[in-house]
Amino acid sequence: MLIGLFASSASSQSLLRRIESDPATGLSAAVVVEDCQLIHTSQILPLDEQGRLNGGTTEEQLEQVLKQLDDTITACNTARDRVIKLNVYVADAPTRTLVSTRLADWFGKDSLPAVSYVATVLPVAEAVVALDAVIASEENVDAKLPSFGTLKDDELKADWSVMPRGDVVYVSGQAEPGALAEATRATLDSLLRTLRHMNLDQQHIAAIKCFLQPMSQVGIVDQEIKKFFGDTTLPPVSHVEWISGSLPIEIELIAYAPSAGGDETVSFSALPWLSTSPVFSRVARIHGDRRVYVAGLYSTGDGSGEAQVRSSFRSLAEILTKAGSDMRHLAKATYYVSDDEASSQLNAIRPSIYDPQRPPAASKAVVKDVASERRSITIDMIAAPARPIP
């Protein structure tokens, strides 16, 4: 089922298209967006204005998070029905159920975003729910770089970024060895090298996501990120606790790039100093402002790791077709897995799913839980349209 945008102005009717909106799950299977600036928020935690945990119950924390999201929406001169994608971070599967029910009411049945969930320890002790968002803005600003905004007095730590119309670059998660501080510094330097290879720089970064362990030491990561950006504004940052056998942190990023034009809606780049892979690209670039955000996918039934992986990819193919895309035009993948079987089956099956010349940029994180009972993998995707706009 395709659901068109229910917006306040007729001129914006064509900017968003929601696919398979389902109030029972509190999400749309995908949202297609075009001709918009895109706002990326930082990870919104249930904190009061003094940075203290606000709310003892899950319900209270969720309301605080949604209030901050609403404040951001208002500050950016947009609306709830402009929210395209939510990444929701929860303590466990029951919390996910509570959140999905509330989202259906908060957004309304005709304005549901694509939503992905993962269970993780959060950067604030006793916090059980957080989120970050991608929001459309129809403002026309002739900017050449992302701009930043904040709800607080800290002008050097953004609560959101605004990417101008143009291209978007997704850099796969990179990781370097060492203790947490050393590894964070080295990984950020490696990411900067990647950006410069793409003729971009720090100032083009719109959002960062860190997969780290243990979350209790997130302050070390934040301090290194602050050092990396120096006197310039820190872009939005989100954190997920992963379970890695050897490396303490992996970092991925989203960057703005001026429109490069051409016939391809998405292109892929290798990095000469890093190995290539048939199942992920080091860098993917969506050309133009039309993008497809897919909700986090789970298998349609219980089963082995193999069954779950195959079921999720079947669902993905069906959703992409409805959105005007396909597997060859995936740009960004995030895989959350919670056991070795699902992880190994994902590795084994992807070569049969992707064109080895154009797999999406990707990060794979082994986590404690994927926030769904009897499931051990969820996949989260962003795609380009299969064909340019005529």
Strand partners, 59: none
Beta carbons of 290 and 204 less than 8 angstroms apart: no
Q: Categorize the per-residue pLDDT at 6 as very low, low, confident or very high, splitting at 50, 70 and 90.
A: very low
pLDDT digits (tens, 9 = 90+) for 257-277: 999 888 899 999 999 999 999
What residue has token string 């154009």?
A: 358
Condensed to tens digits (0 to 9), the pLDDT of residues 171-229 reads 999 999 999 999 999 999 999 999 999 999 999 999 999 999 999 999 999 999 999 99
pLDDT attached to residue 350: 97
Summarised one tens digit per residue, pLDDT across range 297-306 is 999 988 999 9
Comparing CA positions, the residue from 164, 136, 3 lying closest to residue 77 is 136
Task: State residue 7's pLDDT score.
Answer: 37
Give the burial string for 350-373 (b: 16+ CB within 10 Å, else e): beebbeeebbbbbbbbbbbbbbbe
- Which one-letter amino acid corresponds to residue 45? L
What are the φ and ψ backbone dihedral angles of 250, each rounded to 5 degrees? -130, 140
CATH topology of domain 1-140: 60s Ribosomal Protein L30; Chain: A; (3.30.1330)
The reply to whether the predicted model has a pTM over 0.85 is yes
pLDDT tens across 336-361, in order? 999 999 999 999 999 999 999 999 99
The token duo for 260 is 């490069």
| pLDDT at residue number 360 | 98
* Per-residue pLDDT, 236: 98
- Determine the 3-state secondary structure of 106 from DSSP: helix
- Output the pLDDT for position 390: 62
Q: What integer pLDDT is reported at residue 11 of this predicted model? A: 39
Rounded average pLDDT over 14-30: 93
Mean pLDDT score, 94-111: 96
Please report the pLDDT score of residue 13 as a whole number: 44
Q: What is the pLDDT of residue 337?
A: 97
- The predicted-structure confidence for 128-139, as pLDDT tens digits, reads as follows 999 999 999 988
Average pLDDT of the chain is 93
Neighbours of 230 (CB within 10 A): 9
Is residue 12 scored above 70 in pLDDT?
no
User: What is the mean predicted confidence (pLDDT) over 273-283?
Assistant: 97
Q: Which amino acid is at 103?
A: L
Q: Residue 121 has what pLDDT?
A: 97
* pLDDT tops 50 at residue 1: no
388 band by pLDDT with thresholds 50, 70 and 90? confident
Q: Which long-range contacts (CB under 8 A, 24 or more apart) does 143-152 make?
A: 144/258, 145/203, 145/204, 145/256, 146/203, 146/204, 146/205, 146/206, 146/235, 146/256, 148/233, 148/235, 149/75, 149/76, 151/68, 151/71, 151/72, 151/75, 152/49
Q: Residue 133 and residue 114: Cα distance in Å, rounded?
A: 10
The fraction of the chain above a pLDDT of 90, given in percent, is 88
Q: Is 23 exposed, middle or buried (0-12, 13-18, 19+ CB in 10 A)?
A: middle
The mean pLDDT value for 312-326 works out to 97
% of the chain with per-residue pLDDT over 70: 96
Q: What is the DSSP letter of 333?
A: E
